[in-house]
Amino acid sequence: MDIGVIGVNHNLAPISVREKVSFTDTRKIEAINSLLDKDISEIVILSTCNRSEIYIRSNNIEDRIKIVEDFYEEYFNEKNIKPYLFSKSGKQAIDHLFEVTAGLDSIVLGEDQILGQVKDAHEFSMKLGASKKVFNKLFREAVTTSKEIKSTTKISQQPLSISYIGIKLLKDKLGSLENKNALVVGFGKMSKLTMNHLKEEKVNTIYLANRSHGKYEDIGDDFRNVIPIDYNSRYETLKNVDIVVSATASPHTVLKAEEIPKLDHKIFMMDIALPRDIDSKINEFENIEVYDIDDLKKIHDENDSKRNELAMIGRQTIHSKVEEFIEWLDVADIDPTIQSLNEKCFEIRQDTLDYIFRKVDLDSKDQRIIDKMIGSALKRLVREPILNLKQVKDKGKREEYIKLIEELFEI
């Protein structure tokens, strides 16, 4: 069994490509069930605004990687997707997951949001029975290592989230956001972070448009300058704002070019959703400038160099943790053999006890003593071979020993 990862991310694919292969929960379920039928043992799908990645565990991993590459093309009906796909296997795939989870493969080094997204992706697969012993161990170790890196390096303490950089870009365009009016579309985690940053920039009024009105109860006292509006009023509200930030989970655009009213003032729009919320045609309008996630990659923050130094420390931690996982994975290959040996011992123990108790009349106390003695003796018989087998580092030789043990013990 080996581990692989296949997908697209911000390193190779522009947003116009990434948004075409993003997974909703429904699509995840369909994809996981389809790939499990293709002789893949474990699957986790990580789909965020910056990446769409499928992690797999299977025999013949290179063949299965090709199957997943074909799957991307067929499932999303994207004939030109393959040049943007990346794939890694073995240690490289494990390294990649650890770096992604720690935020070291993000547009913003060390960002926090990806940690929760990896946890959610893993839990989703566990509920479907697609993440089992190895992936449960792998993803939990990646999450634990990420928390350790963030705790020791403090890499996430400086406010460099996607939403922060987006607001910084809008501030650069306007000179200042003080006393400006803003429209925020969506009320998820990213939108709440955005409103916090807007508050710090002393924005005058924030109009909040969200499809689900019930969520407005969560606004609280922290956002006293936030005015919830009817979702259908979002276009009319454009006449009263200077900036727009959209961050919904909608699979479709939420601001369409044909619905935009005539404006007599300049508006700057920031689209931090994937798929994109804002129709790209809007950027052609005279009074509107639209920016998306890929535009944020062009912004260099003064703290980047410091974060890169901390990222190097994080990668050293990841290196040692990955080595530990690979050692565990090597030993885990022995587990089926160990289980079969124990089952064989249990079978011999039961047959022996049944024979003794039929031939000799013993009270319950003596029966328990004999039971323990036979059980202990059988454990001693297999303990040394198991311990020695675990010490064999050469994978090929260990597989030979496993096969030999299975033949000798007929397990």
Domains of the chain: 2-158+307-331 (3.30.460.30), 178-296 (3.40.50.720), 334-408 (no CATH)
pLDDT digits (tens, 9 = 90+) for 241-270: 999 999 998 989 999 999 999 999 999 999
* pLDDT band for position 221 (cuts 50, 70, 90): low
Q: Cα(166)–Cα(190) distance, rounded to whole angstroms?
A: 11
pLDDT at 380 over 90: no
Instruction: Output the CA–CA distances (angstroms, integers) from residue 319 to 57, 71, 160, 249, in the order listed.
Output: 20, 31, 25, 34
Q: Report the binding-site residues.
A: 48-51, 106, 111-113, 117, 186-191
Q: Please, what is the Cα angle at 296 between 290 and 302, to 5 degrees?
A: 135
Using CA atoms of 391, 394, 396, 399 in order, give the dihedral in degrees to the nearest 10. 10
Local confidence band at 298 (pLDDT 50, 70, 90 cut-offs): low
Helix (H) or strand (E) holding 47: strand 42-47
pLDDT of residue 328: 85
Active site residue ranges: 49
Residues of the binding site for NADP(+):
186-191
Measure the CA angle with vertex 90, ends 89 and 91; round to 5°. Answer: 115
DSSP symbol at 211: S
For 162-186, b where at least 16 C-beta lie within 10 A, e where not — what string? Answer: bbbbbbbbbbeeeeebeebbbbbbb
Helix extents (H) in 206-260: 234-237
Query: Could you give the CA distance from residue 146 to residue 355 in angstroms, rounded to a whole number?
Result: 56
Sheet of strand 267-271: strand arrangement: 226-229, 205-209, 181-185, 243-246, 267-271, 288-292
Report the pLDDT value the prediction gives residue 57, as an integer from 0 to 100: 96
**Of 214-218, 271-275, 382-386, the least confident:** 214-218
Q: Name the helix (H) or strand (E) containing 275.
A: none
Q: Which residue numbers belong to the known binding site for substrate?
A: 48-51, 106, 111-113, 117
Distance CA(312)–CA(153), nearest Å, equals 10
